[in-house]
Chains A and B, each alone.
Chain A
Amino acid sequence: MSFAVAVPQSHPVHGNRLANREPLWVRWTLITLALLFLLGFLVMPLAVVFTQAFSKGLTVYTSAILESNALAAIRLTLLVAAISVPLNLVFGLCAAWSIAKFDFPGKSVLITLIDLPFSVSPVVAGLIYVLMFGLQGWFGGWLSEHDIKLIFAVPGIVMATIFVTFPFVARELIPLMQAQGTDEEEAAIVLGASGWQTFWRVTLPNIKWGLLYGVILSNARAMGEFGAVSVVSGHIRGLTNTMPLHVEILYNEYNSAAAFAVASLLALLALVTLALKSFLEWRLHASVSPQDDN
């Protein structure tokens, strides 16, 4: 005998419950304070990029972007991201597979080590490669004998970028794959799938949104990195200048409109990143709690 009736969520989950309500003036004071803080620290810095970029008119804006050194910087930035993001993606997948799907001692130490680049100053991140491969560095003599230039050249920029974006994909995937467990993969193996088939048909579909999330964040950092790249780049216009470094040079030459014009492209990248991130968070939420309750 069942009298169960379909009931809509009968109580709002937060905030609006009668007993937990602050007086209206308290609520509005808090909202106003929070918004003012965000206005001064987030909204204005974002808005000023665009107002400054167009302050001298559209022609100055377009010529600043289409100028040959600017185009070279854009090309280099895209190249660096195109190398470093896939490498870190492969690493992230390997690390997450071995850490999330298997048990072994020292796991938490390994996770901490993977997170390490986040807590290292970008300047130090650049410096360590100068110490390895620069003229005075460990391999400096050997490299110069064989006429190989890594530092103050593109390879150095790529290495520094890989370092600062190292953890993004891995740290996104590890908790996700741990939460999903190994049941589905084991089921696939029992049903006769090979390791690759299991990965492509079972694991990857389950983690695709988390993977994309890590890639988006990793890409934003790769294209926007300044400190680490600045140390290893050598600032050679048209050759080893990425977009952020180009912005710096223009700004220091008091060519503010042009600096902000190039900066506006990076700001757009940030906005697209935020939009994608919000979308992916929504999808991720759905993929972690799929068929829980009705």
Chain B
Amino acid sequence: MSLLRKHSVLPGFNLTMGFTLLYLSLIVLIPLSATFIKTTSLGWGGFWQVITTPRVLASYRLTFSAALLGAGINTVFGLLVAWVLVRYDFFGKKIIDAIVDLPFALPTAVAGISLATIYSPKGWIGQMFAPLGIKIAYTPLGVVVALTFIGLPFVVRTVQPVLEEFEVELEEAAASLGATRLQTFLKVIFPTVWPALLTGFALAFARAVGEYGSVIFIAGNIPMVSEITPLLIITKLEQYDYAGATALASSMLIVSFILLLAINVLQWWGQHRHSKR
């Protein structure tokens, strides 16, 4: 490695790089590859069989659709919250700004039990929907609520800096050319913001797909109806079905890697578009 790097007068490259690679391999790379190697012992047919049973397929459907919905809600409201925080002044704005990060800081188990309490038929919000015949907690809707909660900061925090750095002169230019506020937003502001919005959406989605702690308390966990894939992994593990759990884990890892790649591409594109063409 030291042969490849450019000359530098600063010391410590070999030591720090060596430790970095060792630690990374021990903690992350070797255990992760162990999972894939273990999966190969199932064979392709066995693997396919495990990940396509009706119960597993139902859990995929729920996990992905709820994650998609949660990320979608966060995209709309995240943009709204970011806009309000950047553009308007109101009482308590600083506190609101700080509290947006709550889902990063609040342990997921705590979030899970409090969301379940609020959105249950007798809870603060659940009781408003109960008379309409809408049950939120212990249904797939509850899963969406939990996944919206844990993904909330991602969109706000990716869009906020873009809005902050947005040159107000561009809006003034649009206004002086006769554009209405709505036209200015749609034609000038939104095109600048949307790569960040998409990145925030992808981050929220990626986080939601793997989420476990906040969901299981509010989901009800009924097989085929409100059972998410991570829970199914744990169920298999508790039944000592290590092969099945591993196969499911591998399928989720593949999805995570694809999402990670997509996010990296999105961020790269967000920074580099229009700079050269």
Contact = CB atoms under 8 A, between A and B. Distances in A.
Contacts of B257: 119
Q: How large is the interface on B (under 10, 10 to 19, 20 to 34, 35 or more residues)?
A: 35 or more
Category for how many chain A residues contact B: 35 or more
Interface string A18-46: 01101000110011011101101111111
Interface in A123-155: 123-124, 127-132, 134, 136, 138
Contacts of A248: 109, 217
Contacts of A121: 209-212, 230, 249, 252, 256
Contacts of A52: 114, 117
Given A45-B118, A102-B13, A227-B212, A220 B99 contact: no
22 contacts: A31-B90, A40-B118, A46-B114, A48-B124, A95-B16, A95-B20, A103-B5, A103-B8, A110-B24, A124-B233, A127-B246, A159-B27, A224-B105, A244-B110, A260-B114, A263-B107, A263-B109, A263-B114, A270-B106, A274-B105, A277-B98, A277-B101
Interface in B5-34: 5-6, 8-13, 15-17, 19-20, 23-24, 27-32, 34
A128 B35 contact: yes
Interface string A52-71: 10000000000000000000
Interface of B: 1, 4-6, 8-13, 15-17, 19-20, 23-24, 27-32, 34-35, 38, 77, 80-81, 83-90, 94, 96-111, 113-115, 117-118, 123-125, 145, 148-149, 152, 164, 168, 171-172, 175-176, 181, 184, 206, 209-213, 217, 230-231, 233-234, 237, 240, 242, 245-246, 249, 252-253, 256-257, 259-260, 264
A220 B152 CA distance: 18
A86 to B, nearest CB: 13
A104 B1 contact: yes
A129 to B, nearest CB: 6
A174 to B, nearest CB: 11
A230 interface: yes
A189 B105 contact: no
Q: Which 8 A-B pairs have the closest CB atoms?
A: A224-B107, A121-B210, A226-B213, A227-B212, A195-B11, A128-B31, A270-B105, A94-B16
Nearest to A216: B105
A263 B217 CA distance: 14
**B-side interface mostly:** helix
A259 interface: yes
Given A124-B35, A128-B34, 12 more contacts: A20-B172, A31-B88, A46-B114, A48-B117, A91-B23, A95-B16, A113-B29, A119-B206, A124-B230, A162-B27, A247-B107, A269-B107
Contact of A13 (B85, B118, B168, B256): B168
B19 A101 contact: no
Contacts of A22: 181
Contacts, number: 304
B102 A46 contact: yes
Given A34-B84, A121-B252, A131 B113 contact: no
A226 B38 CA distance: 25
Contacts of A182: 8, 10
Contacts of B108: 224, 226-227, 244
A132 B34 contact: yes
B84 A49 contact: no
Contacts of A294: none
Contacts of B245: 127
B237 A127 contact: yes
B28 A113 contact: yes
A41 B81 CA distance: 12
Residue from A14, A90, A134 with most neighbouring chain B CB atoms (10 Å):
A14
A114 B24 contact: yes
Contacts of A112: 260, 264
A278 to B, nearest CB: 5
